[in-house]
Amino acid sequence: MPIQKISIEQLLELSEQFPVLDVRSPGEFQHAQIPGAHGFPLFSDEERAIIGTVYKKESREKAIKFGLDFFGVKMRPMVEEAEKIAAQFKSNKGSAKSVIVHCWRGGMRSTAVAWLLNFYGFEVYQLEGGYKAYRNWVLQQFETTYDFNIIGGYTGSGKTALLKTVESTGHAIIDLEGLANHKGSAFGALGQPLQPKQEMFENLLATALNKKKDHFFWLEDESQRIGNLNIPPAFWKTMRTKQVWFIDIPFEQRLDFITTEYGVLKKESLIEAILRIQKRLGPLETKTAIGYLVEDNVKECFRILLNYYDKNYLKALHNRENLDVLLSKINCTNVDNIINTKKLISCATVNT
């Protein structure tokens, strides 16, 4: 069967059946990739640099010859690696000899690998436009209209856990903090894996949005910045127009919750997090909060921090147009995800 050129839409469908082989260099792949793709480099970073230099300084033909020198010795190992990946992919939902191949622009690299695998006997699909076309698709997803509501609430309301409980009841969600590997505050990176690059975060978010495009779903209220990452401006603008269901839990109950959640973390890490916000927190409050922490009075330290975050959240909440129309408060007595989820779903259903 000849190599089949496919569009982004076909890629999204076929990638559920066949593995995606990203033949760009390791550096390109590590920066960001199509979620679920396998790194399958035709050239190393060093080899790619050499070929690029020869192409610019000498000629296309000489660059191709260098590429063939690098490619020739890799042919058998690449075929064998492709066999392993295809055989292991999702218990072979499709053919064990079917793969999707792409490079940066759908040019010579993916064409060469597609030819090799097709010659060996694979059914090969080649993405037209390559990863560049995929990135254009990603950015388009943030301009699309979606049907969702937002779960709001001050710090310590257990919004992330509440979102997960909402999902367990059969409702669709997108966990922005989960995609970003960050809980959103100065303390949000503690105990979390490294954050993805901005481009990879966008790829993950676009994938999640595409899967929910025909369904209503829930999001947690966030500032535009989650750790080192930014929610794409177009989608952030959409978020600011959506209904906010504010889980209103008393201060002391929220204080108990965050003291339990963060109080187990290393004191040094907590101090570093406090110092990151010292300019906004103020010198006196910073010194007092750290002093409480040094004295093992975690609760009083967090009392200062919670007051700080409440003020910031309230300011951000009111930085919306038509807030009086968008905001609905749900009074809750404690951080109880099961009870609060029932209240949330009940109120949202009645007012829909």
Q: How far apart are CA 113 and CA 119, in angstroms?
A: 10
Closest by CA position to 40, among listed 131, 137, 129:
131
DSSP reduced 3-state for 257: helix
Q: How far apart are CA 184 and CA 202, in angstroms?
A: 16
Q: How far apart are CA 105 and CA 285, in angstroms?
A: 53
Residue 332: active-site member: no
Closest by CA position to 209, among listed 177, 180, 173, 181:
173
Beta strands, E only, 207-285: 217-220, 225-226, 229-230, 244-248
Closest by CA position to 277, among listed 231, 309, 310, 229:
309
Token pair 């064990």 is found at 96
Q: Decide the pairing of beta strands 4-6 and 98-102.
A: unpaired
Which residues are catalytic, by number? 103
